[in-house]
Amino acid sequence: MMKKNTPERSRTQGFTLVEALVALVVLSIGMLGIAALYVESLRAGRTALIRTQAVNLASDMADRIRANRTGGASYAKAVNDAGTLSNDCEEGGASVSCTPAVMADHDKAIWDTEVTQSLPAGTAQITFTDANPNVYVITVTWAEQAATVSYVMRIEA
C-alpha cells in the first residue's frame, strides 16, 4: 500500500486568537501597573516638597530667633497667634522703635503668613522655656492626604 503524499498541517503555525488575547491582557496589566507607579511617584514627590517646605519654614524661624536672642519669651506663639507687623522693623523704618519684643512679634507675623500660604492647612506654634540657654520648640503642622503631620524643631539660643 502506498501512502498519499499530503502535507500535514503543523499545530505550531502562527498565533491563535486566544494567544493574542492573552498577550494583550498581560500587556494591559503591565501598563496599568506602570500608570499606578507613576501616580504614586507624583504623590510622593508632592509629599516630599511639602515636607521640605515645612523644614525650611522651621529653620527660617530658628534663624530669626538666633538673630534676635534678646527677644526671648516674645517669640512664644500659640497656633492662633498671628503676630503683628511693624513698619518700624522694616528696612528703612524707625529702628529706634523696633525693640527686640516688637521685632519678635514682627517676625512671628511674617512667618505665620508664610506658613499658612506655603503649607496646606498649615499652622505653627512656638513654645519658650526660660533656661540657660533658652529653649524654643518650633512646631509646624499641615494636612497631608488623610492625616495631619507635624515637624518639630528644638533649638537653644
User: What pLDDT does 98 receive?
Assistant: 84
10 in a domain, yes or no?
no
User: What pLDDT does 50 receive?
Assistant: 94
Q: Give CA–CA dist 117/17, Å, rounded.
A: 58
Q: pLDDT per residue over 100-155, tens digit each?
A: 888 999 999 999 999 999 999 999 999 999 888 899 999 999 998 889 999 999 99
Q: Give CA–CA dist 99/84, Å, rounded.
A: 13
7 in a domain, yes or no?
no
Q: Which amino acid is at 113?
A: T
| Phi, psi for 146 (deg, rounded to 5) | -110, 20
74 contact partners, CB below 8 Å, separation of at least 6: 100, 101, 104, 105
48 in a domain, yes or no?
yes
User: What pLDDT does 84 receive?
Assistant: 84
1 in a domain, yes or no?
no
User: What pLDDT does 37 receive?
Assistant: 95
User: What pLDDT does 20 receive?
Assistant: 87
6 in a domain, yes or no?
no
126 in a domain, yes or no?
yes
The one-character DSSP state at 120 is T
Q: pLDDT per residue over 39-63, tens digit each?
A: 999 988 999 999 999 999 999 999 9
Q: pLDDT per residue over 59-114, tens digit each?
A: 999 999 999 988 889 999 988 888 888 877 877 655 667 888 889 999 999 999 99
| Phi, psi for 3 (deg, rounded to 5) | -90, 145
Residue 58, CA distances (Å) to 49, 84, 124, 140 in order: 14, 19, 9, 7
Of the candidates 50, 76, 57, the residue with the CA atom closest to the CA atom of residue 134: 76
Q: Considering its fold, how many domains does the chain have in total? A: 1
53 in a domain, yes or no?
yes
User: What pLDDT does 94 receive?
Assistant: 58
67 in a domain, yes or no?
yes
List the domain range (segments joined by +) for residue 121: 17-156
Angle, helices 100-118 vs 17-67, to 10°: value is: 170
